[in-house]
Amino acid sequence: MDNKKNIEIKNFFIFNSSYGAKENEEYKKILYYYPFGESTEIQIKNIGLVEGIVQFTETFRPSSYVSSLHTNKLRQLYFQPELNFWIVMTLSVPLVTKIKDSVSSNEYMEEDIQDNVYEAILSQAYYMYRLFWGTLEQTLVTGNADILRNRLDTFFNAYLKTVKLSNADILNLYGGIQYLPLDRQTFLKVQCFVNLLESSYGCIEEITFLYNEHVIWSGIEPNDMKVMYQYLIGMLLPANIETELQGGSMPRNSPFATLKRGRFITGPTNLKQAKTVGTVPRVYLFSNDCFKEHHLAVYRCLSATVCIFIKGDTNLTLELFKELDELINPRLSCVVAEIAEYCSKQIMPSITSGDTIPKFIYFNKINLAYKSTIHLDNKQTENSTCSKDSLKIMADMKDQNEFLGRAGESIVKTKNDYWVVGKNSNFREFYIVLQTKNANLIKISEEVKKLCDNELKGIFFHPF
């Protein structure tokens, strides 16, 4: 009988290495620490150990800092997002307890923790914080260390509860965006809707339009959109979708379409009864090494989500939201019906988990777009169409891409007749999982070429 203990966060802390230089003032370095029950003495000891490791390893590679520390039972990851600021996450290595003849033995599964995957989770935590609170240094410039500590407490006490460690895989490395391609006429109607909204209100700087968790239009920078997308599909939208339409979107001629009215899901959710604008989060968008503060008003109608980025110095009023609702609702309902009708006409291949069906994941570094038949949803549940071993191989392949140069291919065969193929070229990456018994490299290459032609339309143009 085997019992497995999954990966867990042992501790998570943020400190500033320039603070607490004097003796007995080391506690001033601490900006955030989890778990909350550990004594200050232990916190100082753990931070001191990290500083020692970083300084020691700089002797061997001064151009870059150490990113992880491996022990038999723990894995510690380091991230320096800003000068002198360090974020550290310590993970417990998954443990399998085997019992045989009433004797138990522990086996630590070190290979279950891939550094690049969990380093991506660590950096994502910082960028998600920065989206809502700005940079750590900026808080110190406009406030002080105590204000920064309070903000870190407010954010990370809630955020760490949402981190899904056990289901982490190559998708975390990308943090990509799923786009929905439309025909020209339907896309033009979305574009006209966005232009009308922006031109009608000078306080609106940018707009992002999503349909069924797929981006159709976004006016913000791709790196900002990547973080915003993870926030929307991972936190904000799941909490609101349950109250919506049960059967999905409807074509324009549906007799029930008129019964559904859009609403704000940040701001006054019920305009008829609201007396204030409610909760409208502030977000920071970064571009050209500078950032701007915005109010984020999110409007939801049927399966469409419109993110409205309003200038940070705008005085939000209930009248403004009522005007926006009157402008958005009738027009957005028509646009959603057009999109739903277009999507209903598309022939969507059924996704199957059969072992003989090739599965793939595609990523474009230029626009951060990804497409996956491996993940049945983008919320990183256990809904995947291939084994965890195959996902690990893909993450390892991605970690080795720098050695392949601008274009290359890797092929791995597993013991159970799975073939994992990784291709990268022209800032695109494509990973395929196949199970073909008695296959050889020639047959696998033919299958990969066929899949590339069908799914990617020949985007792999290798340089001569």
Give CA–CA dist 190/184, Å, rounded: 10
Q: Are residues 117 and 147 in the same domain?
A: yes
Give CA–CA dist 178/229, Å, rounded: 9
- Using alpha carbons, list the distances in angstroms from residue 354 to 147, 392, 446: 53, 19, 20
pLDDT at 245: 43
Q: Are residues 25 and 135 in the same domain?
A: yes
Among 168, 198, 213, give the residue marking a domain's end: 168
The two beta strands, 204-211 and 304-311, are: antiparallel
Among 301, 320, 345, give the residue marking a domain's end: 345
For residues 79 and 122, the answer to whether their CB atoms sit within 8 Å is yes
pLDDT at 270: 87
Give CA–CA dist 33/88, Å, rounded: 10
pLDDT at 426: 80
Domain membership flag for residue 279: yes
Q: Are residues 250 and 324 in the same domain?
A: yes
Q: Are residues 160 and 284 in the same domain?
A: no
For residues 77 and 87, the answer to whether their CB atoms sit within 8 Å is no
Q: Kindly state the helix (H) or strand (E) to which residue 15 belongs, with its residue range.
A: strand 8-16
Domain membership flag for residue 177: no
Domain membership flag for residue 324: yes
Q: Are residues 211 and 326 in the same domain?
A: yes
Q: Are residues 391 and 332 in the same domain?
A: no
Domain membership flag for residue 228: yes
Domain membership flag for residue 175: no
Q: If you count DSSP H runs as helices and E runs as strands, how many of each does the chain have, helices first?
A: 12, 19
For residues 120 and 175, the answer to whether their CB atoms sit within 8 Å is yes
Q: Are residues 149 and 272 in the same domain?
A: no
CATH of the domain at 143: 3.30.450.70
Number of compact structural domains in the chain:
3
Q: Are residues 152 and 9 in the same domain?
A: yes
Nearest to residue 223, comparing CAs of 177, 180, 181, 179?
Answer: 177
CATH of the domain at 287: 3.30.450.30
Domain membership flag for residue 179: no
Give CA–CA dist 286/217, Å, rounded: 18
Among 322, 345, 368, give the residue marking a domain's end: 345
Domain membership flag for residue 328: yes
Q: Are residues 98 and 31 in the same domain?
A: yes
List CB contacts of 294: < 8 A, sequence separation 6 or more: 205, 206, 282, 283, 284, 285, 309, 310, 311, 312
pLDDT tens-digit profile, the chain (464 residues)? 567 788 999 999 999 999 988 888 899 999 999 999 899 999 999 999 999 999 998 888 777 788 999 999 999 999 999 999 999 999 999 988 888 777 888 888 898 899 999 999 999 999 999 999 999 999 999 989 999 999 999 999 999 998 989 889 999 999 899 999 999 999 999 999 999 999 999 999 999 999 998 999 999 999 999 999 999 998 898 877 655 544 444 444 443 344 467 899 999 988 888 889 989 999 999 876 788 999 999 999 988 999 999 999 999 999 999 999 999 999 999 999 999 999 888 755 544 455 567 889 999 998 899 988 888 776 666 667 788 888 999 999 998 887 777 788 889 988 888 899 998 888 889 999 998 878 888 888 888 888 887 777 656 545 43
pLDDT at 68: 94
Adjacency order of strands within the sheet including 359-364:
369-372, 359-364, 428-435, 418-425, 408-413
pLDDT at 347: 59
Q: Are residues 339 and 373 in the same domain?
A: no
pLDDT at 251: 46
CATH of the domain at 394: 3.30.450
Give CA–CA dist 430/363, Å, rounded: 7
Range of the domain at 302: 184-345
pLDDT at 349: 53
pLDDT at 62: 76
